[in-house]
Structure 1
Amino acid sequence: MTASSILKPIIAAPSSTLPFLFILMWSSGYVVGKLALPYAGPFTLLFLRFALAALVLLAIALLTRAPWPTGWKPAAHLVVVGLLMQALQFSSLYTGLKLGVSAGVSALIVGTMPLFTALGASVLLHERVNGRQWLGLAAGLGGVALVVADRIGGATLAGLGAVSLALVGITLSTLYQKKYCSNADLRTGGCIQLTVAGIVALPLALWFEGFEVRWGMELLLASGWLSVVNSIGAVSLLFLMMRTGEASKVASLFYLVPGTTALMGFAVLGETPGAMTLAGFMVTAGAVYVCTRQRRIRCTGR
């Protein structure tokens, strides 16, 4: 059984559709998370998300006899990715929101990740980023700004610093995963990463929120979606695309997340997108096309 077996039905789809599946799955996490937050605090919800996803991957790994890392170095690399991608990114993001940073400002800050990933990939991974790609990346940043321009409000310096840490987490984890964990098994590697993130989220949930939960079908369904579709499905697709595509091109897909999330918010939450949001979505779609059209991102599995 291959490392990509847990995503076999998705990987069997045409490779050109995988980036769009990733965008839909990743964007859905913002909407479902907003639906779940009335029933649990941010860190409590994160712990439930990480713990359930880790248990699911552990069961899959044991049933399929997936290979575990041999030696402490591969395991340590997976721990680092888990701390950066899951724990640091989401804990910092939720902390910033709690400190008063609006969702629009948070999306704008984290949405600059493709620019920093492209810069890091050119320096650390020696990937060539040409002028047209830099132009597309800059245009994508402008499109993200359009999407959130009408939502920017006041925010504390501490809150902005926390959301900036989320940007650091997702940028560094993308580069680190590409450099050190590109051949890790998705089942056991994901289990390790999510377990580490859960260990970090648990004391935060206990200390700041008393682990207060309003159990109900809404929370159970939302936690299941966040765990299986987002923490397992979307993250696994991201890592699979990182294996077969350049980091800067895969990262450019994140420019489509704010606009896609806005459309989902309109359909599920009744949040009406304004003209600037629609314009920003069109700009970001064009920017992603410019950044990725030279070589299609393929994900055939191994």
Structure 2
Amino acid sequence: MNVLLSAAFVVTWSSGFIGAKLGAGSADAVTVLMWRFLPPAAVLVAWAAATASWRGLTARALGRQVVIGALSQSGYLLTVYYAIQLGVSSGTTALIDGTQPLVAGALAGPLLGQYVSRTQWLGLALGLGGVVVVTAADAAAGTDAPWWAYGVPFLGMLALVAATFLDRRGCPAVTPRVALTVHCATSAVVFTALALALGAAAPPAEASFWAAVGWLVVLPTFGGYGLYWLILRRGGVTRVNTLMFLMAPVTTLWGAAMFGEPFGAQTVLGLAAGLAAVVVVHRGAAPAGAGVTRASDRPARRARTGR
């Protein structure tokens, strides 16, 4: 996997937690999310109408992508924003997000036939330890958030995992550009409907709100989500999810730079553990073609072998 591509993904994805904090100070979560997705959805749909990239896309494949978008963007982001609005810190939210590789690794074998090696499990455990170290002090300090608020981002993490596996089991896979277009359009519809129902569709006049929206459109939407699906196509479930271990320490770096949040030895140690986890997981991966297949490939294989 290209190192620069992976680094860009980590930076742009983690920027979403910071953008959520920027937006939470000026508007409700659904208001921010509505205006985050309306502009990119309009641009992407207009681009799709002017290109031939949609040829061959069946109604079934389109419906699958709508469901994937509802899980990976609408469900996932609503829980992240809502948790931060309730008072859960961005670092703790990123920590909960950081458990995703363990869940994905446990399910990749039975669902996709992409089994995790012992070396990769060691790397996953190392990465989990790193994100725990980074956010332990933050969690122990306590916030005004109710106890149940910490379960909200966990639900979002499960939604993203479900979307990832649904995408991997799809046949045929659509291009990342088409997927991003459908996902953004789906999220625009979902969040606009929610905002209208809650009477929260009108954007505030503050410049800080539009600055947050611009941040969220450019970095985590076009950058983070676009790169997520691109790297997933190229590297598989375990590899792309291992990069999630870097989100908590990188988010802490963002917070220190933009909001003056504390940054000390724990962050350095956690970041080092996350980087080591990525290296271990990548080195422990099976060689290409060595028993790692997509579930959608199995029927054809059985037809060829007679089994």
TM-score normalised by the chain length of structure 1: 0.86
Aligned-pair CA distance for 1:156:
3.1
Counterpart for residue 241 of structure 2: 251
Identity of aligned residues (%): 32
Aligned-pair CA distance for 1:22:
0.6
Aligned-pair CA distance for 1:229:
2.5
CA, structure 1 residues 79+59, in 2 after alignment: closer, same or farther (shift >3 Å)?
same
For residues 1-302 of structure 1, the aligned pairs below 5 Å read: 15-67=2-54, 70-152=57-139, 153=142, 155-180=145-170, 183-208=173-198, 210-294=200-284
Counterpart for residue 7 of structure 1: none
| Mapped partners of 2:212, 2:206: distance in 1 | 10
1:39 partner SS: coil
Assess if the C-alpha contact under 8 Å between 2:117 and 2:284 holds in 1.
no
CA, structure 1 residues 96+30, in 2 after alignment: closer, same or farther (shift >3 Å)?
closer
TM-score normalised by the chain length of structure 2: 0.84
Assess if the C-alpha contact under 8 Å between 1:52 and 1:224 holds in 2.
no
Assess if the C-alpha contact under 8 Å between 1:136 and 1:290 holds in 2.
yes
| Mapped partners of 1:63, 1:180: distance in 2 | 26
Aligned-pair CA distance for 1:45:
0.5
| Mapped partners of 2:226, 2:172: distance in 1 | 11
Aligned partner letter, 1:133: Q
Aligned-pair CA distance for 1:252:
0.2
| Mapped partners of 2:219, 2:192: distance in 1 | 21
Give every structure 1 segment of 4 or more consecutive aligned residues whose post-TM-superposition deviation is greater than 4 Å.
294-298
Aligned-pair CA distance for 1:73:
1.0
Please say which of residues 158-167 and 173-182 is displaced more in the overlay.
Answer: 173-182
Unmatched runs of 5 consecutive residues or more in structure 2: 289-307
1:133 partner SS: helix
**Alignment RMSD:** 2.4
Please say which of residues 248-257 and 23-32 is displaced more in the overlay.
Answer: 23-32
Unmatched runs of 5 consecutive residues or more in structure 1: 1-13
User: C-alpha deviations, 1:113-151, integer Å up to 9, x for none?
Assistant: 011111111110110211110011011111111111011
Please say which of residues 246-255 and 178-187 is displaced more in the overlay.
Answer: 178-187
Assess if the C-alpha contact under 8 Å between 1:41 and 1:213 holds in 2.
no
1:210 partner SS: coil
| Mapped partners of 1:42, 1:181: distance in 2 | 34
- Asked which structure has the greater CA Rg, the reply is 2
CA, structure 1 residues 37+96, in 2 after alignment: closer, same or farther (shift >3 Å)?
closer
